[in-house]
Each structure stands twice: as C-alpha cells, then as structure tokens.
Amino acid sequence: MKRSITRLFITLFLLAVILVAPVFPQEKHPIAIAVSPWVGYGPLYIAGDKGFFGDLVVQINIVKDTDKRIAQLMGGYAQIVAVPVDAMVMKSRPELGFAAFLVIDESAGGDGVVARKGINSLEDLAGTKVALGLFSPSDSWFDYLLEERDLEDLRDEITFANLVDLDALTAMRKGQVDAMIGREPFLSSAKRELGAAIIADSRETPGRVVDVLFSQADTIAGRHADFETVVKGVYRAVDWMEKNPAAAKSIIKKYLGESYKVSSDFDNTFSAVGFYNRDMNLRYFGTVDHPGDFEDTLDDSIDYLQDMNELSWDPEPEDFMDFSLIPAQP
C-alpha cells in the first residue's frame, strides 16, 4: 500500500514538473547548400563571411561531383544545390519536384573553344579531333552555339574525345587532340602554355550557361522564410562584390585557393563569370504570366537533353521555375 502511494506521489510530481516547465524555443535548423569549387558560387561564401545570412545558420558543403551534390539533396543532407541548369534538368524526374529559385551566375567567357595554331574558326574544326565532356554544360553550350551559327552539320565532321578539364588539357599538351571545348581556368592554361587561341566563348551567348540554386518544391514551401533569407543574403553579397571586387576575390580565394594553383587562372576565371543581382534575376525569371529568358534557356536545355536521350520525361520549362523568392528585397 505504501509503495502504491509513493509511486502515485512520484507520478503526480513528475506530471507537475512537466506542466510547469518552461518552454524553450526549438533550435533553428541550418540550411546546407551543396556546391562545387567554382568561382561562380562566390556570393555564397561572401554572404557567409560578411554575415549577410543574418541569424540563419548556412553550411556550404563543397562537393565536386554533381551526382553526389544532388544525392545530398535527396538524402536530406542538403536543402539547396548549386549546379549548371543542364545538370538540374538532366537529373530531374516528375516526382522529384526540382525547382530553381535563383540564378547565381552565368558564364561570360567561362566556357569556350581553344585550338592549336592554324585553327582560327569553328569551321576549321572540320576533320579535327576535339576534347569535349559529353553531356557537360560546355557540350550543351557548343551545341547551342553551332545552332546559332547555322553550323549544326559541323558536329558530324569532328571526332570527339570524351575528356574534361585537366584530362582535356593534358591531351592537348600531348598533341592527342587539336582543340578543347571546356571551361576556365583550363582555357587560359591552354592559351598560356601552348600558344593556343580561344576561337569562340560564351560571351556570344549571354544567359545560356547559367548556374542555379535549386531544391525540391516541397522543401521550398516548407522552409520558405529560410530560403528567402538565403536569397536576400546572395543579393546583398552580389551588391557588395560590385563595390568591393578586390576584397571579394580575396574572400573567394580563401575558400577556393587550392583549386587555382596559378593566380592568373583565378583572375581569368573570375573575370569570365557574371554574377546575377536582384534586377537581373527579376528580368531573367520574369513572372508566371510573362516568363523571361530563363524559360528559353530551360527549353533549349530540355530539347538538347531529349535529343541526346538523356531525359526520361517530357517537362515544360515552367516545371523548373519557382517565381516566389526572386522578388525578395536584400
């Protein structure tokens, strides 16, 4: 009997403690963003370094492999991924609900064609061997460039070696290929080391090669306020970079220095990237009723990937566009 009374007393006491215990605010969950070691994602580093994300804890995970970055999103280890738009579209499926909510940068000379002496134009590539990463952003860009110049048949006259970045540059050093279609800093390295010439680059195709921040529609809806904080932080960072370019490069180098052994390679890459501020995003996205140029870029990406049999469904550009966050005021 005494034991029963004691147990009852303890139960009532614990219940009272629970009822009167102070309620502490739940710890704010961080936002993890998976990126590659690319200068174009510099605004994220700067926003974190300068405190532009405010009280929101933002973790930047550097993951070189695109598939692994997207896997982090699918596994819940990241809530946002930074990738070229073609990568987002290629890895999409209707049930995944991938949606881009911000363009962070564009290639403004960062992708191009660099060729050995004697090759002075795209037409001169006929009958040559060229290094090109198949299904890469550079491949998509080159396909688009040929179409813009009415040179679609030229692709059939080129022998391609499926090589990217340092492997492509090494093949060019050894004389195994006559040209390379790729990105900085490897374009500048080929020009500096081999006396090669850049015969075309992405300055000719503004807005075609862009990097986006994307997530899944359900995640965006569930954490909309946090995502808006990220967007505001990026806008503030881009505005700050425009006013402080030397300091901006110094901060980005702090995070990416190991990826750029030669200082001029970093400088060349930085100058070949265009960062998107709020006004540029507003124009590029447009509105639901009147989409901007991003719709055309997505449409081109969808067509390219379907032609390459790399897309298992038939999406519309609007399937990948979240218009709700770009109006955020920094």
Nearest Cα residue to 171 out of 157, 154, 189, 158: 189
Q: Which H helix or E strand runs over 183? A: strand 179-183
Residues of the chain with pLDDT > 90, as a percent, come to 86
Question: Stretch 128-135: mean pLDDT, rounded?
Answer: 95
φ, ψ for residue 59, nearest 5 deg: -105, 130
Neighbours of 90 (CB within 10 A): 21
Q: Write out pLDDT tens, residues 4-40.
A: 444 444 444 434 433 343 333 334 689 999 999 999 9
Instruction: Tell me if 45 sits within 8 A of 251, measured CB to CB.
Output: yes
Q: Write out pLDDT tens, residues 82-121.
A: 999 999 999 999 999 999 999 999 999 999 999 999 999 9
The pLDDT value given to residue 27: 46
Domains in the chain, CATH or no CATH each: 31-108+207-320 (3.40.190.10), 112-204 (3.40.190.10)
Token readout for 205 is 């195709």
Question: Stretch 296-311: mean pLDDT, rounded?
Answer: 95
Q: Write out pLDDT tens, residues 189-202.
A: 999 999 999 999 99
pLDDT tier for residue 174 given thresholds of 50, 70 and 90: very high
DSSP string spanning 191-251? Answer: HHHH--EEEEEGGGSTTTSEEEEEEEHHHHHHTHHHHHHHHHHHHHHHHHHHH-HHHHHHH
Question: Stretch 163-177: mean pLDDT, rounded?
Answer: 97
Q: Whole-angstrom Cα distance, residue 227 to residue 70?
A: 18
The pLDDT value given to residue 258: 74
Question: Stretch 251-280: mean pLDDT, rounded?
Answer: 89
303-330 in b/e form (b: 16+ CB < 10 A) is ebbeeeeebeeebebebbbbbbbbebee
The pLDDT value given to residue 13: 40
Question: Stretch 54-68: mean pLDDT, rounded?
Answer: 95
Report how many helices (DSSP H) and strands (DSSP E) the chain contains, helices first: 13, 11
Q: Which H helix or E strand runs over 70? A: helix 66-74
If DSSP codes are grouped into helix, strand and coil, which group holds residue 137? helix
The owner of tokens 């904080």 is 229
The pLDDT value given to residue 28: 64
Question: Average model confidence (pLDDT) for the chain?
Answer: 91
Q: Write out pLDDT tens, residues 231-262.
A: 999 999 999 999 999 999 999 999 887 777 77
